Amino acid sequence: MSISAASSASSSRLPAGFGSASFEAFLESRSEPGWVTDQRRAAFALYQEKLGTPLNPEEWKRVDLRTFQPNRFSLTTAGTAPAQFETLLQDRAQFAGAVSEVDGRAVSVKLDENLVRQGVLFGNLSDLVHDHREILEPHLMTRAVRPDRDRFAAWHAAFWTGGTVLYVPKNVTVEGPLYSLIGLSEPDAADFSHTLVILEEGASSTLLEETGSATTENAGLHVGAVELLVGDGARLQYVQLQNWNQKVWHLAHQTGLVGRDASLQWTVAGIGAHLAHIHQQVTLEGRGSTAEVNGVTFATDRQVLSYYTQQTHQAEHTRSDLLYKDVLRDRARVIWRGMIRVDKDAQQTDGYQRNDSLLLSPTCRADSIPGLEIEADEVRCTHGATAGRVDEEQIFYCMCRGLSRYEAMHMIVEGFFHGVYDRIAVEAVRDTLSQAVIRKLGFE
C-alpha cells in the first residue's frame, strides 16, 4: 500500500544551511510555547559551541564525514508536496494508530477511540507541545538524549521538526501495534524528527516506525533522536526500519531507559541511506530490568552504515542481550562498535553482545569492535564477533539441488538473518524484513 500526502500548490523552504539566519527563520515559522523556544535557543548556542569541538574519535574515526555538506540541505515550513511512499510495513498489520510526517511536517494522525479514552497520547510532537507541556517537558531531551551529548544531539535539539510521541498511562496496555512513518520527499530536504515514547508504570505497547523516501534520486538529511522511556514494570517493543533511498544522510542518537522489572525489545533495521550513523544506547536503570537489542543491516553499493552501541547496566540483576547481523555487498561498509558498561553497583548482571557479518563480495568491508567495561565484580558479561564470506561449498550444494546461484545466495542470506528474525515477536516485522532483503538482493 502507498499513502499519499495531502497536496497544496507549493512548499516554503527556509534558507539552506543551519546557521543563525536559518535558525531565526525557523523559530519565526513555528509559533511555539515559550518553554520550547527557550529549549531550542539553549540548544542552538550549544550546537554552535560544539561545532568547534572535535567529535569523540572512538565513535567517529571510522566514519568519513569529509563528503558531508550539511549546508546544501534545508528545512521546509509550509505546504506539502504530493508524495507517494512505497511503505514496506504499513499494509502488513492492523494498527491501533498511525502517524506520518513528511519533510519534517505532520501529515496525518489516527488513534483508536478506546485508547484515546484511556488517556493514551499518540501524535506529532509539533502539535502536542501546545497542550501537553506537563507530560512532555520533564522528558523531552532531559533524561535520555541530552543536547549536550555532542554536536548532533545539540543540532537536533535546536532544529527538531516534529516526530512521533507515544504516551501510555499507568497500567494501560495497548493491544496491537502502532505505526509511524517518517518520509523525505523534496530534493535536499531535511528531517529532524524526534521519537519520544513514554510508558508509565506497568504500561505496555508496541511501536513500529519506518523511514522512507518518495523518490530514489532526491538527496536528504535526517538528524534524528529516539527516546524510549520505559517505566517500572512496563513493556515496550520498538522497531525502527530505516529504509531511505541511497542518497540520504542519517545521523541519529537513540536511547532507551529501562525501569525496575521493565523490559525493552528494540529492533533496528538498516536497509537504506548513503551514510548512516546511529548512536544507540540502552540504559538498565532499575533492578531486574531487561533489554533485548536486535540489529538487521543489509548494505550494498557504496553505502556506509555505522552503529555505535552501548549497553549500560546501572542496577543489580539486570540483563541485556544484543545481536546485530549484517550482510554486505559491492563496496559497502558496515561499522559496529559495541560496548557493555557495568557500573560498580550493578552486581549480578548478565550482559551479552554479538555481531555477525556476512560478506557477499570481496570488495565490501565490515569493522566489528566489541568491548567491555566492567566495574562490578560479580557479573557475567560475554561478547563475540564473526565475519566471513559465503561458503562456496554451500552454494555448490544448493546448485546441485537445482537452485540458481542467485537463489542459493538468497537462501543463505535469509538463513543468516533468521537468527535475528527468530527473536522478533511481531510477525509483520519479520515478514517486512524478509521482503526488504529479497528486494535488495535484486529480485521480487
**Residues forming the site for other proteins (CB under 8 A):** 61-62, 64, 66-67, 69, 274, 302, 333, 365, 367
Cα-Cα-Cα-Cα torsion 310, 315, 321, 325, nearest 10 degrees, comes to -10
Bridge partners of 319, per DSSP, are 290, 350
Cβ 301 to other proteins, closest distance in Å? 11
Nearer to other proteins, 149 or 333 (CB): 333
Cβ 273 to other proteins, closest distance in Å? 12
Nearer to other proteins, 340 or 360 (CB): 360
Contact 289, 259 (CB under 8 A): yes
Cα 44 to Cα 422: distance, rounded to the nearest angstrom: 43
Cβ 67 to other proteins, closest distance in Å? 5
Cα–Cα nearest to 361, from 322, 325, 400, 333: 333
The DSSP bridge pattern shows strands 290-299 and 333-342 to be: unpaired
Cα–Cα nearest to 88, from 432, 434, 438: 432
Nearer to other proteins, 188 or 367 (CB): 367
Q: Where are the beta strands (DSSP E) in 79-158?
A: 84-86, 97-102, 105-111, 121-124
Cβ 365 to other proteins, closest distance in Å? 7
Cβ 357 to other proteins, closest distance in Å? 15
Is 374 exposed, middle or buried (CB count within 10 Å of its CB: 0-12, 13-18, 19+)? middle
Nearer to other proteins, 69 or 347 (CB): 69
Nearer to other proteins, 62 or 423 (CB): 62
Cα 239 to Cα 210: distance, rounded to the nearest angstrom: 8
Nearer to other proteins, 52 or 57 (CB): 57
Cβ 366 to other proteins, closest distance in Å? 11
